[in-house]
Structure 1
């Protein structure tokens, strides 16, 4: 009889222990998801600020293009047009990211949240690649046809070298800004702060949530 009671007590204790461990895992998972929500929400202010500044900048440059269209040089019009176009694309991407941030719900399935984070990560890389493409036009908007045809040869050569010096890193970064390069020093130098760190931290935390769920 005593053996049966001991076995019963042992099974009861074992069951309660399993329930306690499962409860602790659920609590840990919920806390982790709340942290994810906090990290993602911290991205909203910088994205909203960037969108506002971008819209104001586009409006300003568009005004210049319209007002000086008939007198401005072709270099200015093309350079300003490229710059505005890339900025507009960046604004659209930032708006898309705000929608993703707003839609991210701590109560939704982990896989759905991970998918939104993956989209945030990919769009953040893309917006950086596009914005770096603006570098060369900052060295050409002030040029005129006369400057190149009748200007000082040395100054023209310097201009070519400067434009090339901006074009090479712009193209190189456009081609090499990829998640696979995230551990490289130049990548970490570019991608840090409120635009990138919350995404990576959130992805790591959601990975932990999946582990909690799997272990459970």
Structure 2
């Protein structure tokens, strides 16, 4: 009698279990791919390495994401999605506008510092001139929450007379992101030239305070 084997099973028990949990398989692939893409970029990443790290197969990766570029695009979208979800979880209701805006700035600085692979992915995608970014309308929708948060804080501050009018939430988001982004994106070259004192715990606390101070000085009436 001819025995029929499953090419995706290959008598591997973990794979059998994962076949019963497709979301778990997909999320595991995204997690491993994010780390490897952030370290090696799109061109330097091999699907075989991702498959080996997840104990799955190239075929399964292609099943979920079509090809390497499709996987890379979904990693980007998922990275942005996770950042937005963390911002949405901020507890800002009832806070004075200046306190709430500083909390957004503090969160952004800390989150960028913790999620250095996210910053590296953004750096890599800028090298590609945003060629692989998900659909612009989709990204705008997913990123609108942080704009809405800042917009509400800023409008409240203007109404109370503590913030000066004439700015937009997008402008404020740009300033907060730029200051927090540089802290990760240029860390290697900056510390090589000027030393690492700004990147130990004390130095990072000082920079974090400065970011909040500068944003508040920018908006205060």
Larger relative contact order (CA 8 Å, sep ≥ 6):
1
TM > 0.5 fold call: no
TM-score, normalising length: structure 1:
0.25
TM-score, normalising length: structure 2:
0.24
Normalized per residue, the structure richer in helix is 1
